[in-house]
Structure 1
Amino acid sequence: MAAPLRVALAGASGRMGQMLVQEILAAPDLQLSGALLHAQSARLGEDAAAFMGRSSGVRFTADAGQALQDAEVLIDYSRVEGSLQLLPLCVQRRLPMVIGTTGFSAEQRAQLQAAGAQIPLLCAPNTSVGVNVVMNLLAQAARQLGSAYDVEIVEAHHRHKVDAPSGTALQMGEVIAQAQGQRLADVAVYSREGHTGAREAGRIGFATVRGGDIVGDHTVMFCGAGERIEIAHKSSSRIHYAQGALLAARWLSKQPAGFYGMADALQLR
């Protein structure tokens, strides 16, 4: 039997981090090898599985070198600044990197793509298998319906989410724009207030909801004359994000250097 794949986590005490710890410990082909937190965390030194009432043998640390020392792949669900700080260290160590962090600017995303020339790097605003299947459905709908249908994207997340629109909503917009031969930057509308006038044809609108403990809801509306088509994905748990991230980590650990997405790992392209 092959040795378990050694997985390090960044952002290991967050909502996604805890779900990943739980899923890694339950998987016979995976081993938790490191758990990285920011230097101000009050949980430094704790066992990474203490929240489950058990021991993992891995303690939270702010020392990136220590957290990555034995890793064969890193899954990063920290924040943009943390991801960018880890990037050169992963390149130096030739360590495959799965990034689930969202909120990167175009310039920061270019840094990730550049690193993908040196290491296997998978960047995914959403690691859910279901969401990535939805992306394929959106591309098909956008091609078939064309400019005769107005596109609106509504997303809802918990009160603690720091970026808006969500990375998933933006990716949905990019998929639709590309399917219609457009650039999202040229057609996106992110806010409406006051006397806005009539809606311009060909625009892709975004609306954001933040509140409570909503895990993540996304609805895309194709609004035509006399009918409205809605394609939606609603999350009631983060477990499917964690399972998708681990699927991506298993796949990425066997790939050459490159900049990948979940569509590559799921062979949806």
Structure 2
Amino acid sequence: MRVLVTGAAGQLGREVVDRLTALGHEVTAAPRDTLDVGRRDHVLGAVGAIRPDVVVNGAAFTDVDGCESDADGAYRTNALAVRHLAEASRRFDAHLCHVSTDYVFSGDQAEPYHEWDRPDPRSVYGASKLAGEQEAGEAATVVRTSWLCGRHGPNMVRTVLRLAGEAGPLRFVDDQRGSPSFAADVAVVIEKLCADRRPGLYHVTNQGAATRNEFAREILRAAGGDPDRVQPITTADLDPPRPAVRPFNSVLENRALALAGLEQPGDYREALRRLVADFSG
């Protein structure tokens, strides 16, 4: 395939580029400083020049709290840009794969969320990402993932490992539960969905769920540290409080992948051990 990857400097974008390249696909990596997806003329020009078979949109305004104070910026990058990419994909016969998030859900539900549950975002970030899903259109592949970690960029694994080198306890909230997901594993599924040009919505997360406190403990355990250094707090205890509302439950069930008979990412603990070993090596 000839593939254009937007947001190619992000932690998932870089893994998608690496995965596609390793499999012999012809990849054009377009980070933010070379392609402004918020500009229609830039998007139409790039897709028209490259003529990709597939466009993977990893570009996003992911500063969840920053979105609360810059709603226009959030919607420009997370929604309007997807409109431009969808238009360009239709015009030049490319298949669009758009990456979305667990923040499209309220977090009020006790059970894991599957693809046919009703979205109900409680933050500007979540609302703008839901708008992006709607702009992608029925012919596109939409991949929702959550609590993303990987070799590139800031993420919770890097944060915990850094804090572990400092004195004192580590405090993480124990009332937010999600699906830790690893960029390299998500990239494998994205490549498969794109190669098949499968339309529709797919949740793509590693197996297993944890609170942020439990995840931090697993990170320390994987690094050979003492997980008991991690102490539980509540979201209400955070000082200063976060501007954006976080879902208390954002565990995603990969129901569409399972029903389609497609391989899902493995247990998050195994992926975590591989990532920590990679950092250590």
Larger proportion of strand: 1
Coarse TM-score class (shorter-chain normalised): 0.3 to 0.5
Q: Report the TM-score, using the length of structure 2 for normalisation.
A: 0.42
Larger radius of gyration: 1
Larger proportion of helix: 2
